[in-house]
Structures are given as structure tokens and as C-alpha cells.
Amino acid sequence: PNTIAFGSAVTGLPGVMNVLAGATYTMTGGASGFTVDAAIAGNAVNVAGTLVKNDASVSSFAVPVMMNGTANISNGTVQLLQPGTHAGLFQIGAAGQLQLSMAHVLAGGRTRGTGTLRVMDTLDVLVGTGVTLEVGSVLFASAASRLNLTDNDLLVNYTGTSPVGALVSSYV
């Protein structure tokens, strides 16, 4: 389906979608998205399996997403519009973009690829959780965007010319 609505204003019950380990959910189409029919606590998308985004459209999640599986974003944009905690793998291809709105926590796992990680608010990286960021670019897209490192360390792995010149306190 192009759009899935979560929560019921009639019953007052939340909507939950689980992508189980071994299962795959592929997002396609320009109107692809997860919307909220009613703002009810408990609306969520829990991913233990695989999310796939391989067309040029934008897929938006207006409900919290907990990524403990894999998101393969080879093309297009995946927008996570609500806070979330992630311990899985975000694989971002050259034509892909992962946009994190509101506060997100990386509590393990990897974010890698040649695409773009766009941070619209706060990205917390928890110490001792084995988080790896290896992407083509990380954009802090507003004056309110920030990166929190719980142990105040930032390790930059590179080959060739130093990337330190790209670490500036400005926004796009």
C-alpha cells in the first residue's frame, strides 16, 4: 500500500507494525508513507527484518521507528519524523538519503554507505554500544541540529586528505 495509517480515533487503540526477523518490507511509490490517524501512545514500527527503499520517491514515517534489523536505502529518501532508538544497520546507497527528524539515538549498529545522513534535530551516539558511522556525508540541516557523544570523543577514520576541514559549525 502507498499509505498506512496508525491509531484509531474510534477505538483509541494504537497501531503497531512489526517487520519480523527474516521478513522484508519494500517501500515504493511517491505517496509511500506511514501516517497517524490518531496520536495515540504506542503507535510504532518495529523492524527486526529488512526495510527496502529502492525508488526515487520519499517515504515518511510519522510514527516512531525502532530499527533493530536492516534498512537498505539504495535510492530515494526515508524520513523518520518521530524520535527513535536504533541498534540495527542503515545501509544508504549513493542515491539514497536517511533523514532523521526530532531526536534519535544510535545505541549500536552501523550507518554506512555512500549516501547522505541528514540530521534535523539531535543525534545521540551512546558510548560503548559499538556505533559506526560510515556514510558519504552527514548534514546537520538546521541551527538546532546537534551531535551528542556520550563520552565526548569523536573518531574520524579516513584515507587521503584530512576530512577535518569539513567539520564545521554551520548548517545547510
Strands 84-86 and 33-36: unpaired
- Tens digit of pLDDT for each residue in 21-77? 999 999 887 555 677 666 778 888 999 999 999 999 888 888 889 999 999 999 999
Stretch among 5-14, 82-91, 128-137 having the lowest mean pLDDT: 128-137
Global model pTM greater than 0.85:
no
Report residue 156's pLDDT band, with 50, 70 and 90 as the boundaries: low
Instruction: Name 57's Cβ contacts closer than 8 Å, sequence gap at least 6.
Output: 28, 29, 30, 31, 32, 76, 77
3-state secondary structure of 165: helix
pLDDT at position 129: 64
DSSP designation for 95: E
* 31, 49 contact by CB (below 8 A): no
